[in-house]
Amino acid sequence: MLFKRSRLVAPFLLSIALIAALGTGSASAHERRDIDKYRLVVGFNDEPALQGEPNGTQITVTVPGESNRPVEGLADSLKVSVAAGGSQPKEFPLRSVFGTPGRYVADFIPTRPGSYIFTFTGTIEGQQVNERFESGPGRFDDVKSVESLQFPETVPPGNDVARLARTADDHAAEAAAAADSARTMAIAGMGVGIVGLLFGIVAVSIMVTRRASVPSAARR
């Protein structure tokens, strides 16, 4: 009987070990930081984070010294701004995650691959917070380009297509402006030439008129 029980318990323990290992691997893609008695765990809501795919900033706040008590009600007192690729930060609202107390997500779609910065400001149970988290090695993963995962054809993300279209439009507008400027200068040059021609005709006419008005004897 003992042998049978050990045969049943062994797979159960193995399953628990696998689940724990998977959980640890998932958590390693997030950055942990302690602020006084609070622990903040920050990263992307979905890992790996892919360019152009719906995702979000995820933060979990607990109190380790109080049996890992989840801190609730922070969606109204805490906010996050997101920056990437040198762009201006944009603020996104946080929402509570149903069924997971102490966890919050700010939904957004990362449109560029590379490093992202999450800055949390506000208060946690009355304590002021201003914490900056940046993706990278040893912290949480950068956003990955989708091109290496596409098959059989590589399709550029919609934002890249839009960016190329805007660039083409800008170049076309610049070319049109240059053409308009050249056209204006050409018209102005033609105007100057016509005015000069008219002055020449008038000058010749005056000379002819004066010559005609002088007696032939005086001309000799």
pLDDT, tens digit (0-9, with 9 covering 90-100), for 182-195: 677 767 677 777 77
What pLDDT, on the 0 to 100 scale, is given for residue 35?
96
36 lies in the same domain as 144: yes
Q: Residue 179 sits in which domain range?
A: 167-219
* Cα 121 from Cα 79, distance rounded (Å): 6
**Domain total for the chain?**
2
65 lies in the same domain as 129: yes
144 lies in the same domain as 171: no
Model confidence pTM above 0.85: no
Boundary-marking domain end, from 106, 124, 155: 155
The identity of residue 17, as a single letter, is A
98 domain residue, yes or no: yes
145 lies in the same domain as 71: yes
8 domain residue, yes or no: no
103 domain residue, yes or no: yes
* Cα 179 from Cα 176, distance rounded (Å): 5
50 lies in the same domain as 150: yes
Boundary-marking domain end, from 127, 155, 183: 155
What pLDDT, on the 0 to 100 scale, is given for residue 159?
56
Sequence-distant (≥ 6) Cβ neighbours of residue 129 within 8 angstroms = 35, 78, 120, 121, 122, 123
In the chain, the percentage of residues whose pLDDT exceeds 70 is 65
pLDDT in tens, 29-77: 899 999 999 999 999 999 999 999 999 999 999 999 999 999 999 999 9
39 lies in the same domain as 102: yes
183 alpha-carbon distance from chain centroid:
39
